């Protein structure tokens, strides 16, 4: 039974080893450009996998995985904790979910895919009383030059509250808060360079780390991203829940 469906797409929870394998194959294609490869790690066995499929032919067009945590005391068990020093979040009192390995098939550009993926997430959050979503939001490539305006905008408007701010742990980072300082972004260029998933987090009130981690294995730069559900603007929250009906 789908978590959420609309039009030609439906999102559901993976229920079999075959479902997980299909997600791992799409991740390899999206992140590594390897149509015959597999992107897998030890976290897959601990996560719930969400698959968005084209109902016309069953093509897997999007996937992501969710790692539920009872509260911040378990934050060190997350995928993100490999790359960010997250002890500030250890005191977070509410239920958390790490959303990871989000990807959309490179041959599909329909914006409804992202809407369906978020509709499924909204239903999961509400059903499980989740208070914070978090994860790593990725920019393609490992060179910061193409994303200077995006990083400047993150620095200017979207840094994490000091009480939750992730600290540096990874050996290779781009310290955009320090490097860019008071640089004013070109807003059009900033939004053009911003990954769609991160844009969605930001319009809901999400925040990011003050540095990006350079991940050469996946050929990305990513920022830690957090979203406190109670911090979503009321009008935006109403729209999200209406869209998930």
Q: What is the pLDDT of residues 113-163, one digit of tens each?
A: 999 999 999 999 999 999 999 999 999 999 999 999 999 999 999 999 999
Mean pLDDT for all residues in the chain: 95
Strands (E), the chain: 4-6, 9-13, 48-54, 60-69, 84-85, 96-104, 132-140, 167-168, 173-174, 207-208, 212-215, 220-228
Predicted model pTM? 0.94
Strand partners, 118: none
44-50 CB contacts, 8 Å cutoff, 24+ apart: 44/20, 47/100, 48/13, 48/14, 49/13, 49/14, 49/19, 49/20, 49/23, 50/3, 50/11, 50/12, 50/13, 50/14, 50/117, 50/120, 50/121, 50/124
Residue 243 has pLDDT above 80, yes or no: no
Three-state SS for 225? strand
Residue 170 has pLDDT above 70, yes or no: yes
Residue 1 has pLDDT above 70, yes or no: no
Tens of pLDDT along 195-222? 999 999 999 999 999 999 999 999 999 9
Give the model's pLDDT for residue 158: 98
Q: How far is CA 65 from CA 118, 120, 163, 174, 224, in A?
A: 12, 12, 27, 26, 16
Q: Of 223 and 245, which is predicted with more confidence?
A: 223
The Cα–Cα gap between 197 and 103 comes to 9
The Cα–Cα gap between 85 and 72 comes to 13
């Amino acid at each position: 039974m789908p978590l959420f469906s609309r039009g030609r797409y439906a999102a559901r929870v993976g229920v079999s080893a075959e479902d997980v394998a299909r997600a791992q194959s799409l991740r390899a294609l999206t992140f590594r450009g390897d149509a015959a490869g597999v992107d897998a790690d030890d976290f897959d066995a601990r996560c719930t996998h969400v698959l968005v499929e084209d109902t016309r032919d069953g093509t897997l067009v999007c996937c992501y995985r969710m790692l539920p945590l009872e509260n911040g005391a378990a934050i060190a068990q997350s995928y993100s904790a490999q790359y960010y020093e997250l002890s500030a979040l250890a005191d977070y009192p509410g239920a958390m979910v790490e959303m990871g390995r989000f990807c959309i098939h490179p041959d599909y550009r329909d914006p409804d895919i992202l809407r369906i993926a978020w509709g499924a997430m909204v239903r999961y959050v509400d059903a499980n009383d989740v208070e914070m979503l978090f994860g790593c939001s990725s920019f393609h490539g490992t060179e910061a030059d193409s994303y200077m305006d995006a990083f400047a905008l993150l620095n200017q408007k979207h840094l994490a509250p000091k009480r939750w701010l992730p600290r540096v742990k990874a050996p290779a980072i781009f310290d955009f808060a320090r490097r860019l300082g008071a640089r004013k972004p070109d807003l059009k260029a900033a939004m053009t360079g911003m990954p769609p998933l991160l844009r969605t987090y930001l319009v809901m009130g999400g925040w990011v780390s003050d540095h990006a981690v350079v991940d050469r294995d996946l050929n990305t730069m990513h920022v830690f991203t957090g979203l406190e559900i109670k911090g979503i603007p009321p009008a935006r929250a109403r729209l999200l829940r209406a869209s998930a009906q």
